[in-house]
Amino acid sequence: MTTATAPAPPATAAPPIRSHKPRPNYWLSIIAIVVSFVVFVIPFLFILLTALKTRQDAADLSFTWPKQFQFVQNFTAVLQARDYLLIIAYINSIILTVCSVAILVVLASMVAYVLQRRRSRWNGLINFFVLAGLIMPPAVVPTIWVLQKIGLFRTMPGLILVEVAFGMSFCVLLFRAFISSIPKELDEAAIIDGAGSTRLFFRVVFPLLRSVVITVILTQSVAIFNDFVNPLYFLPGDANATLQLTIFNFYSQFTTQYNLLFMDILLITIPPLLMYIFFNRQIVAGMTSGAVKG
């Protein structure tokens, strides 16, 4: 650092300190807003506008105002396609997301709690496994083989367990970081009051994890709801297809009906949009804390 030269220009540098909050840079702001609009907003507007167009209007793929709004008709056409497959897929995706996230929250917080509180010679090994789960890509075909052996291949419970297994590491890290901020004295007080270990965790500690539980729920639901690869491998077939898979299959079917394709895409974009509008702050906090500590 150049601290040695510090005392040299104090007189001239004095005025800038006084301007505590500098004026916003309007030119830069305008450029940033325009560029962000073109790069990030227009693709989403394109989805929205195309989803509202008629078939002929959508066919030339241009970024224009719809000549004729056709929301209801496109919407019902998409829902009715292939015997209401989209609705089934929505239900499947919601079941998958809710069950996986619920199991993840309970199991990962239990692991993180003991891992953070109890020092033992297993900690090194467990930390290694947690890290491995974060870094290593899963072995796909052997996982299918194992699922087949235990009779869970092509079943929703099988896919739920797979999502739990693959998401475990990230959740354990989030929980562990948070639990380390809860004073151990609290546990001791509860033990003195006669709480058993199960009651201690579920009645005393777990309620204190509220904020990190919300973080885990939000980040994991986004990840699992948007997951494409695992349903593709572990739950093939239309009967219990999830949303991402269904949309992907619609693509080949709707190549001549772009209005319907984009109505589909719009429908899978809405859940994350709603979540983002309502939980903006928690999602952002969760993503960064998890990332920085992980």
Partner 1 sequence: MATTTTNRQQAGPRAATAPEPGRPKHSPYPYWFYAPAAVIYGVLFIIPTLLAFYFSLTRWSIFESKFIGFGNYVTFFKEPALVSGLWHTLVYAVITSGAKVVLGMLLAVLLTSQIVARGWLRSVVFFPVLVSTIGVGLTFTVLMNPETGLINDALGAIGIHGPGWLTNPKLALFSVALVDIWKGVGLATLIYIAGIVSIPHEYFEAAKVDGAGSWDSFRRIILPLARPATVTVIILSLIGGLRSFDLIWAMTRGGPGFTSDVIASVIYKQYQAGFYGLSTAGNVVLFLVVTAIIFPLNRFLNRKEVEL
Site for partner 1 in 121-140 (CB under 8 A): 122, 126, 129, 133-140
Query: Which burial class, exposed, middle or buried, applies to 167 when counting CB atoms under 10 A from its CB (0-12, 13-18, 19+)?
Result: buried
CB of 249: closest distance to partner 1 in angstroms?
A: 10
* Residue 157 in contact with partner 1, rule: CB under 8 A: no
SS3 118: coil
CB of 80: closest distance to partner 1 in angstroms?
A: 20
CA distance 221 to 226: 8
What element of type H or E holds 88? helix 71-117
Contact 70, 54 (CB under 8 A): yes
* Residue 222 in contact with partner 1, rule: CB under 8 A: yes
* Residue 69 in contact with partner 1, rule: CB under 8 A: no
CB of 165: closest distance to partner 1 in angstroms?
A: 4
CB of 156: closest distance to partner 1 in angstroms?
A: 15
Which residues from 199-218 bind partner 1, rule CB under 8 A? 200-201
Identify the residue among 11, 65, 83, 119 touching partner 1 (CB under 8 A).
119
CA distance 74 to 266: 11
Identify the residue among 11, 16, 121, 237 touching partner 1 (CB under 8 A).
16
- Mark the segment that binds partner 1 (CB under 8 A) among 73-81, 82-90, 206-214, 221-229: 221-229
* Residue 228 in contact with partner 1, rule: CB under 8 A: yes
Q: Which of 51, 83, 98, 74 has its CA nearest to residue 224?
A: 98
CA distance 101 to 82: 29
Which residues from 252-291 bind partner 1, rule CB under 8 A? 258, 261-262, 265, 268-269, 272-273, 275-276, 280, 283-284, 287-289, 291
Per-residue HEC secondary structure of 147-159 comes to HHHCCCCCCHHHH
